[in-house]
Structure 1
Amino acid sequence: MIGDNVFYIALSWAAVRSGTPSQAGLVMAVSAVPRALLMLGGGVVADRFGPRRVVIGSDAVRCAAVLTVAALLFVAHPGLWLLALLAVVFGIVDAVFMPAVGALPARVTGRDQLARVQGMRGLAVRFANVVGAPLGGLGVALGGSATAFALAGLLIAVSVPLLISVRMRETPPDGGANTANTANTANTADTADTAPAPVEAVGPPGDPDGAPARGDASGPHARVPDAEDGAAAVPERPATAWRDLRDGLRYIRGHRVLAPLIVTIALGDLGFVGPLNVGLALLADRRGWGASGMGLVVAAFGAGAGAAALLLAWRGTLPRAGSAGAAALLGGSVAIGALAQVPGVGAAVGVALAIGLLAGLSGALCGALLQTQSDPAYLGRVTAVAGIVSLGLAPLSMPLTAAAIGWWGTGPVFAGSAVVCGLGGVVALAVRDLRRAELPR
C-alpha cells in the first residue's frame, strides 16, 4: 500500500510535467476504466486459481511494470503515452489483485479472527496514506519522477517475498454450513435457482495454495449425484469462467445477508466519496480555510477512521454487528450533512473526526461481515462485486459532486449526499437478517 501511494504521487507528477492539466487528469483516471470493467472477471480468476497464486503473480507484474518505466525515464523522455500505458496496466492488474486480496483473509485465519484482521487492514491503509505521500514527494524531490517510480517499485518488490512467506489453510470446513445457514431459503424455487448443486469431491479436499477443492460446484471436475434414485454420478459439463461468474452473481443475489450488505456498502460509498474528496476542497475554498485548514480536516478524518480500525483490531468483534454498522452509517451521514454548515476550522475538525470514527467503524464492520458471511469459495467474486461499487461507481460521483456544488452550493449537495449515505443505514436496519447479523466470537 505504501508503494501504491508513492506510485500515484510519481504518476501524477510525471503526467503534470509531460502534458497539459487535462491530459494529466486523463492519465490519472484511465486506470479506473479497466479496473471497473474487468473486476468481476478478476473475482472469477481469484476463486478458480486460488488467491495466493493470483496475489503473488499480480504483485510481481506490478513491480516489473513500475521498475521498467522507472528505467525508461532514467534514460529517455517517452512522454504521456508511456504513463497512460502504465496506468492501464495497473488498472488491469488491480482488477485481479484486489478480489484476490479480499479472498485471502479467510484462507490464512479462522472466522473468529476475520474482524480483527479487517481492523488491522484498516490500520495499514491509514498508515500507508500517512507515510506514502511524503515518501513519494521525497522521491520526486531527490531525483524526479524516475526516482519516485523506482522507489515505488522497490517497495512493491519487498512485498512479493512477504506474500510468498504467507502459508495458506485449506478451505474452512464450515464454509458450506455458513452458506446454508445464511443463503436465501425462503422457498424451494429460489433455493433451487440460487444455491449450488450438491457435489461429491473426486480430488483432494483442498488446494494447498488456497484454490477451491476440485469437488466444488464451481470447479471443472464436479460430479452431481442422480436426483431420482441415487445411481452412479454422471460427469457435469466442465465449468467455464462465464458459468463461474453467473454462479457467483446468483450466490450473492440469493444470500439473505450479502445481497443487502452490498447495497448498503454501495449507498454508503456513493454518498461519502464525493463530499469527502472534491467537495471538501471546494468547501475549504469557499469558507476561506486555506490549504492548511483543509489539511487539518483531512487529518482529523484519518485519525477518526484509524481509531475505528484500532478498536476493531483490539476487540476482534462487536455485539450486534449488523445493527452497529447501520447505526454508525446513519450517524456518519448526519455528520456529513453537518460539515457543510459549520463556519470555522475548529468545528470542522471536530465534525470530520466524528465522520472518520463513524464511517470508519461502519466500513470496518461491513467489511468484516462481508468476510465472515461469504463462503470462502466465492469470496473473490463477492469482493469483486463490492469493489466495483467502491472503486468503479463511487469515484464517478466526484465530478458530479463538483458540478452540483457549482450549481447549488455546498450545503444542499452535502445534505443530498448525506441522504444517500443514510439510505445505506436504512437498508441495513430494514433487512432483518442483516440487522441481526453477528460476527463470530
Structure 2
Amino acid sequence: MTIVAPAVSERHAPELPAHRDGNVLRWLTAYTASMAGDSVYYIALSWAAVRTGTPSQAGLVLAAGAVPRALLMLGGGVIADRFGPRRVVIGSDAVRCAAVLAVAGLLYVTRPGLWPLALLGLVFGAVDAVFMPAIGALPARLTARGQLARVQGMRGLAIRFASITGAPLGGLAVAIGGAAAAFAAAGLLIAVSVPLLITVRVREPGVDGRADRVDPADRADRADRADRASLAQRVDSADRVGPESRAESAGPADRAAPAGLADAADRAAPADRADATDPSPADRGSARRDLTDGLRYIRRHRVLAPLMLAIALGDLGFVGPLNVGLTLLADERGWGASGMGWVLAGFGTGAGAVSLLLTLRGRLPHAGRVAAYAILAGSVAIGALAFAPSVLVAVGTALLVGLLAGLSGALCGALLQTQTEPACLGRVTAVSGLVSLGFAPLSMPLSAAAIGAWGTGPVFVVSAVVCGLGGVVALCAKDLRRAELPR
C-alpha cells in the first residue's frame, strides 16, 4: 500500500523570519525614510528658528511640538486601536509631508517670520501623538508573535541608521539651499514612506496560523483569553451600558477583558486584506470608554503594570544624564565637543550592536530576568560615567551603557509587544510613549539645575539610583521576572 504524505498547508507553513519577509521589509524601509525625514526636519526647524528670531523665541518654537504631543498621546492610542494602525500611520505621514512641503514653499517665496515655524511645530507634535502609538501597534499586524523581538531589533537599527544619515543630510541641505531646501528634503523623505506603506499588508492580530507550534502553556493562556473575550462580547451586546455598570455585573475575568478584544477575536479576515481588523462604526463604543478600558487593562495586567513602572523609572534616570548631563560633564572635564562626540558615538555603537543581535537571533531566553539585570548593570555604568578619569575611559563606559540600555530597552519593547493583546496595542504604546516622551524629558532641566548646585558626580549617582529602581521593580514582580518571549 502506498502512503501519500499530506500536503503542507499554509496553516502549517514554517514561520518566515521577519528580516526575510518582504512585507516587513517594506514597512521597515518606509519607517526608516520617515525617521530620516524627521531628523532632517528638526535640523531645518532649528536652523530656521535661530536665524529668524531670538534664542528664547527659537527655544519656544522648538518646544512647541512637545505640548500637543504630551496632551494628545493617550487619545492617539485610542485612534490607532479604533481605526487601525496602518491607516493611521499612512494618514499621519501624508499630513506631515504636506505640512513640511508647505512651509518649504513658503520659505522659498517669502520671509514670513516665526509664525509658520511655530504652527508647523504644533502640527508635527499633534500628528506625532497619533503616529507614535500607531507605529508601535503595527508590527503585531505584520508578522507572527515569535518574530516581534526580531522586529524590535530591526526597528532599532532603522532608528540608528536614520539618525546617522539624517543629520548630515540635513546639514548639507541647509548649506546648499538654506532652511527651505532642508524642509523640502525632509518632506520628500517622508513622502517616500507613503506609497511603501500603502503596499504593506496587515493580518488578523494575534493569528499566527500555527496553532500546532504553540507551547501548551501559551495555548492554554490564549484559550482563556478567547473565553473571556467571548463572554465580554455577549455581555456587551446583551446590555450596552456604561463601563461602571458593566464592571459591577461582570466577574473578575470578565472585567479584565480589554475593549475591542471581542471584536478582534470574532472577526476572521484574509491576512493580506488592508486593515482587515478595524472595527466597524457600529462596534465602536465611546472614545472615553476605550481609553478607560485601556488604562484599566494595563493596571490589571500582571506583566504590563510593573513593566510600565520599570520603563518610567529607567527613562527618568537615563534621559537627564545622557542629554544635558553629558554636555555639562564634557565641559567640566575639558573634553570639548569632540570628546563629547566620541562618548555619544560609544553609546550609539553599543545600542546598535544590541539591535543587530536581536535582528539576527530573533529571541533571547529569560527576557524578563535579563531585562531587569541589564537595567541594574546599566544604572551602575551611568553612575560610573561621571567619574571617568579620561575621554577613553568615558567612551568605554558609554559603550557599556549603550549595550546594557539597548538590551533592556529592546527586551522591554519586545515584551510590551508580545504581552499586549493586539486590540489594545495602540493604547499601551501611547502610555509607554507618554512616559518616555512626556515625563522623562522633564528631568533634563532638573538635572541641569542640580548639576549647577551640586556638581555632576552626585547628580549622576542619584540618576543611577532612580534608573536602578526600575530593575528592582522588574525583579520583584514575579510575572515580569519570569516573562519569556514567544518562540
TM-score (norm 1): 0.91
Counterpart of 1:234?
none
Which residue among 326, 331, 344 is the counterpart of 1:298? 344
- For residues 210-241 of structure 1, give each alpha carbon's deviation from its aligned partner in whole angstroms, at most 9, with x where no partner exists: 36464xxxx7645xxxxxxxxxxxxxxx6111
Which runs of structure 2 are paired with 1:32-431 in the superposition (5 Å)? Answer: 32-173=66-207, 177-178=221-222, 180=224, 190-196=252-258, 199=262, 204-206=267-269, 208-210=273-275, 212=277, 214=279, 221=282, 239-431=285-477
SS in structure 2 of the partner of residue 397 of structure 1: helix
How far apart, in 2, do the equivalents of 1:201 and 1:330 lie? 38
Taking only aligned residues, the RMSD between alpha carbons, in angstroms, comes to 2.2
How far apart, in 2, do the equivalents of 1:139 and 1:196 lie? 47
Q: Read off the aligned partner of 2:110 and give its amino acid letter.
A: A
How far apart, in 2, do the equivalents of 1:66 and 1:27 lie? 15
TM-score (norm 2): 0.82
Q: Contact (CA 8 Å) 1:202, 1:221: kept in 2 or not?
A: no
Q: Contact (CA 8 Å) 2:37, 2:185: kept in 1 or not?
A: yes
How far apart, in 2, do the equivalents of 1:357 and 1:203 lie? 42
Q: Read off the aligned partner of 1:434 and give its amino acid letter.
A: L
Q: Read off the aligned partner of 1:195 and give its amino acid letter.
A: A
How far does residue 340 in structure 1 lie from its aligned partner after superposition? 0.2
How far apart, in 1, do the equivalents of 2:198 and 2:78 lie? 22
Q: Contact (CA 8 Å) 1:43, 1:383: kept in 2 or not?
A: yes
Q: Read off the aligned partner of 2:123 and give its amino acid letter.
A: V
Q: 1:181 to 1:333 in 2, by over 3 A?
A: farther
How far apart, in 1, do the equivalents of 2:390 and 2:457 lie? 15
- For residues 160-205 of structure 1, give each alpha carbon's deviation from its aligned partner in whole angstroms, at most 9, with x where no partner exists: 11111111111223799549569x9xxx965343324885889842
Q: Read off the aligned partner of 2:62 and give its amino acid letter.
A: M
How far apart, in 2, do the equivalents of 1:400 and 1:286 lie? 18
SS in structure 2 of the partner of residue 389 of structure 1: helix
Q: Read off the aligned partner of 2:398 and give its amino acid letter.
A: A
- For residues 139-162 of structure 1, give each alpha carbon's deviation from its aligned partner in whole angstroms, at most 9, with x where no partner exists: 000010000000000000011111
Q: Read off the aligned partner of 1:254 and give its amino acid letter.
A: R
Q: 1:406 to 1:57 in 2, by over 3 A?
A: same
Counterpart of 1:437?
483
Q: 1:311 to 1:29 in 2, by over 3 A?
A: same
Counterpart of 1:228?
none
Q: Contact (CA 8 Å) 2:203, 2:276: kept in 1 or not?
A: no
Q: Contact (CA 8 Å) 1:268, 1:424: kept in 2 or not?
A: yes
How far apart, in 1, do the equivalents of 2:474 and 2:345 lie? 29
Q: 1:393 to 1:84 in 2, by over 3 A?
A: same
Q: Contact (CA 8 Å) 1:140, 1:148: kept in 2 or not?
A: yes
How far apart, in 2, do the equivalents of 1:309 and 1:155 lie? 23
How far apart, in 1, do the equivalents of 2:123 and 2:338 lie? 35
How far apart, in 2, do the equivalents of 1:330 and 1:205 lie? 43
Q: 1:179 to 1:71 in 2, by over 3 A?
A: farther
Structure 2, unaligned runs of 5 or more: 1-34, 209-217, 229-249
Q: Which has the higher mean CA deviation after the structures are superposed, 273-282 or 24-33? A: 24-33
Q: Sequence identity, in percent?
A: 72
Q: Read off the aligned partner of 2:192 and give its amino acid letter.
A: V
SS in structure 2 of the partner of residue 428 of structure 1: helix
How far apart, in 1, do the equivalents of 2:76 and 2:337 lie? 38
How far apart, in 1, do the equivalents of 2:223 and 2:347 lie? 36
How far does residue 81 in structure 1 lie from its aligned partner after superposition? 1.0
How far apart, in 2, do the equivalents of 1:26 and 1:43 lie? 26
Q: 1:403 to 1:200 in 2, by over 3 A?
A: closer
Q: Contact (CA 8 Å) 2:83, 2:278: kept in 1 or not?
A: no
Q: Contact (CA 8 Å) 2:144, 2:207: kept in 1 or not?
A: no
Q: 1:2 to 1:213 in 2, by over 3 A?
A: closer
Q: Contact (CA 8 Å) 1:31, 1:88: kept in 2 or not?
A: yes
SS in structure 2 of the partner of residue 158 of structure 1: helix
Q: Contact (CA 8 Å) 1:179, 1:375: kept in 2 or not?
A: no
Structure 1, unaligned runs of 5 or more: 223-237
Q: Which has the higher mean CA deviation after the structures are superposed, 71-80 or 171-180? A: 171-180
